[in-house]
Structure formats: structure tokens, C-alpha cells
Amino acid sequence: MELGRKLKVYYFTAVFSVMFSLLGFSYNAWRLEATEDNSNIRMAAFSVLNTLSELEQLVYAAHYDHDEVEGNPRKGWIKVGLISDLSSLIGPKVGEKAEGLRLSWGENWERLGQDNDSSDQIVAEIDEVRLQIKMVIKDLK
């Protein structure tokens, strides 16, 4: 009788240990994946934020300084394309805002040196993307 009881305790301990190990391993794998996702989102977000500031500087150079080198629209198209590409890695709402920026850039880049509304609209779209990125970063766990 004593041996049967000891075996039951032993079996229970063994089964519990295996289940606890599987649970711990599963949580660890999930946490590593979530951490990697968050890291990828942060890296893309900071890259987009840098590119947004470069685009804003380009808009100001084109509009206020009438500098055709620093305010070159071809450089702007490259920056807008990069922002659009990386935004999809950050989140769907950021991607939507980046698409709005791309459309605004497409409508207004030709009038940057002549029209205040065109630069204001592009800068407003830049600010919208920036705000959405900050919200996504804030919500990361």
C-alpha cells in the first residue's frame, strides 16, 4: 500500500513538472516573439520618424528658401516612398496616414515654392503620421 501511494505522488509530480515546463516554454516562446515584433515596430517607427523630419526639412527648404538642391522634389518622392513602405510594418493606421501623406505630396509637390497651402497641407500630413506613430509606440508592451 505504501509503495502504491509513493508511486502516485511520484507520477503526479512528474506529470505536473512536465506540464509546468511546457507552460513555461510556451510563455517564453510567445514572449520572445512579442518582443521581436515590438523591436521591429520600434526600429521601423524611429526610421520613419527620421525620414519624416528629413521630408519636413525638404519642404521648408523648397518653400521658404527656394533651394532647388535641398528642396529637390525627387528627394521628396524617395522619402515619401520610404515612409510609405516602412509604415506598413508599424501598423495599419500608420499605413493609412502614410498613404494620405503620399497622396498629399503627389498633389502639392509642384507648388511648394509658390503656394503656402501646399506646404501647410504636406506638413499637416507629416504631423498626422508622426502622431499616429507616437500612439503606436506608446501602446507597445
* Per-residue pLDDT tens listing for the chain (141 residues): 688 888 888 889 999 999 999 999 999 999 989 899 999 999 999 999 999 999 999 999 999 998 889 989 999 999 999 999 999 999 999 999 999 999 999 999 999 888 899 999 999 999 999 999 999 999 987
pLDDT at 40: 94
CATH: 1.10.8, 1.20.120, 2.40.50, 1.10.760. Which one for 41-139? Answer: 1.20.120
Q: Domain ranges for the chain, please list them.
A: 41-139
Helices (H), the chain: 2-63, 73-90, 92-108, 116-139
- In eight-state DSSP terms, residue 66 is -
Residue 45 Cα distances to 4, 29, 99, angstroms: 61, 24, 15
pLDDT at 41: 95
pLDDT at 3: 83
pLDDT at 122: 96
pLDDT at 2: 87
pLDDT at 114: 84
pLDDT at 19: 94
Query: Which residues make Cβ contacts (< 8 Å) with residue 29, sequence separation at least 6?
Result: none
Say if CB 112 and CB 71 are below 8 A apart. yes
pLDDT at 5: 87
